[in-house]
Structure 1
Amino acid sequence: MKRMIPLSILIILFVLLYFLSPFSKEPPTRESIIFFPLDPNVTFTKADTRLVLEPKKKNNEYVLRWYTTSSLDRKVYLRQDISLLFANGRLLGTLSKWKENSQTLLQEKIVKEKNSQLFQAISFHYGEIHDGETIRSSQKMSGDYLYVIDSAYSPFMSFRQARTTEQKEWKHVLSQTTRQFLDYKTKQLVIHFSIHEKNYYHFYLPEFIVYNEQPFPDLSIEKTQKIIGNLWEGLYKNYFLGIKKKNGTIVSPTGSTMPVIFISKDYTHLIVLFETRDGEKIQLIQQIS
């Protein structure tokens, strides 16, 4: 009769084999967005986000194709792109891709939806550059928006710039509805966290795209880019990857409201406010050095 090897010994043998394996000596690189001083010699030659509506519906749903692509002027230690898609002011989904020793990234996702909506996407394109013991980074934002009209009272269509009278009416309705929703939620958050609005500049996240090339009021472009880089590092850890609630649980950001960012006018700190899908109000505070 054969003797059975105790389970505890099998576990020990497995652990020893795993850690003695030549493939386990170096831990695998994990995706990460960490702001390092920007490298002025490394630039993005391409950074693009695109929303495209398929011309025909299927099973009473329409198909939205969501693309992001970016390319640096050289290969770097780590490339990563993340993208967020909002519909009528709430987060609909996310994209993320990373590669080591890479230059170009491309992502695509198909989204199936119903009803008329204003879609807004914003992406953060990131590169981590290693030169000996020196680590620097490169960054750029891109975005897109699309009005999709899916109503029994109008032809099925999409547009960015409203040209016809009907499109202008739909643009007004969807833009105003989304803005009123976000402004209402922001007002509730401001009251809840006792924020003195007059001391801050505030922006909804997709509005940051214009600061790729221009500075915040009374600030240099270098300082502006540092604030943006640190902001995205914080958003990635505390929003994109999951939201930590008061009870300690981590929940998906999907369904949460579009983050609104309050930057103090003395540039000492910024505050990110949003509401989770189930209505919990969240405040993130980041010091500006």
Structure 2
Amino acid sequence: MKQKLLHAFPFLILMVILALGIKFIYKPQIQESIIFFPINENSTYESASTLLQLRPEKKDQYYVVDWKTSSKLDAPAFLRQDVGFLFMNGRLMGKMNEWEQDTDQIVQEETINGKESSLFQTLSFHYSEIHDNDDQYTSAQKMTTDNLYVIDSNFSPLNSFRQPATKAEKEWKDIIDRVLSQQLDFLWEKGIESFNIPIKEYITIPLTQFPSLESRPPEGFDQKEWERAIGNLWEGLYKNYYLGIKKEDGTIIDSIESTIPLIFIKKDKKELLVLLIDKNGDPHLLRQRLSPF
């Protein structure tokens, strides 16, 4: 009798587990991810913003910039996710990502310290995965951006501006822009030569310019085609840039201190390339097939 009970015990345990945990076992696993689905024409963002703001006082000889992103969809979505990148003088110095299920709103806040005159550039991708029914998925997406020049000089008070309002601010902007452009162009050209990219076949756009082009597609794209290209781009950026840069040997390195990604979109609308220059100056190329239009 004892032996029969011992044989029956695992079966009884299994039945208890099934009875108590069947909902867990059959519940789909929800993971943070960005997957492009057709744009939902009936869903809109009530608000979305990315904001940079300089604090008036330094802390331990460093100035502090507050970085905040927020977005609100017009209704709760199956999955909401916001991803943000912050570049300081062309280098990635901050990343933010948050996702929530069955909500309409995401809010994120971070700070970054600096010690010299710099240009801060940030952009966010606000994403929603919407389940219209069990087998029909759509999405809503929006990009926001903010830029801030911070002037930290021994000869003037700590100051910040988005657009120069004085002669001195214009001079600072021109100097920072010129130095940044020279540095990025040099590194990008090195990467283009390394991978022998036939640039005449592509439209070339730095990642930081994408928000300003969201409703102004490049020549040859209509609005729906451009929305799909943007969705495909951010799907790849999240997996292969936010989570780290995958090297040829399979190892993954942090994308922090890498340069602003340079995006190549093939004029035949079939392919997208992302040129990354890591913190060591080594180039990496992501190749992505665009979804059929």
TM > 0.5 between the two?
yes
Structure 1 unaligned regions, length at least 5: 1-15
Aligned equivalent of 1:231, options 205, 230, 233: 233
In the alignment, is residue 164 of structure 1 matched against residue 166 of structure 2?
yes
Written as runs of structure 1 = structure 2, the 5 A alignment for 1:197-212 is 197-212=199-214
Written as runs of structure 1 = structure 2, the 5 A alignment for 1:75-154 is 75-132=76-133, 133-154=135-156
User: How much is the aligned-residue C-alpha RMSD, in angstroms?
Assistant: 1.7
Query: What residue in structure 2 maps to residue 32 of structure 1?
Result: 33
Q: CA deviation at 1:230?
A: 0.4
If the length of structure 2 is used for normalisation, what is the TM-score? 0.90
Shifted more, 273-282 versus 155-164: the winner is 273-282
AA in 1 matched with 2:247: K
Count of residue pairs the alignment pairs up: 274
Q: CA deviation at 1:266?
A: 2.0
SS in 2 for 1:258: coil
AA in 1 matched with 2:41: P
| Structure 1 residue ranges (4+ consecutive) displaced by more than 4 angstroms after TM superposition | none
In the alignment, is residue 218 of structure 1 matched against residue 220 of structure 2?
yes
Q: CA deviation at 1:197?
A: 1.8
CA distance in 1, matches of 2:53, 2:142: 22
Shifted more, 172-181 versus 122-131: the winner is 172-181
Q: CA deviation at 1:155?
A: 2.2
SS in 1 for 2:280: coil
CA distance in 2, matches of 1:272, 1:253: 13
Deviation by residue 1:76-124 (Cα, 9 ceiling, x = unmatched):
1000000000011110010001110000111100112211110000100
Structure 2 unaligned regions, length at least 5: 1-13
AA in 2 matched with 1:71: K
CA distance in 1, matches of 2:59, 2:217: 45
Query: What residue in structure 1 maps to residue 73 of structure 2?
Result: 72
Q: CA deviation at 1:279?
A: 2.3
AA in 2 matched with 1:216: P
In the alignment, is residue 57 of structure 1 matched against residue 77 of structure 2?
no
Shifted more, 145-154 versus 50-59: the winner is 145-154
Deviation by residue 1:14-53 (Cα, 9 ceiling, x = unmatched):
xx8xx76638523642111100011111111111000000
CA distance in 1, matches of 2:267, 2:51: 33
Q: CA deviation at 1:153?
A: 2.7
If the length of structure 1 is used for normalisation, what is the TM-score? 0.91
CA distance in 1, matches of 2:132, 2:200: 43
AA in 1 matched with 2:237: L
Query: What residue in structure 2 maps to residue 183 of structure 1?
Result: 185
Matched-pair identity in %: 44
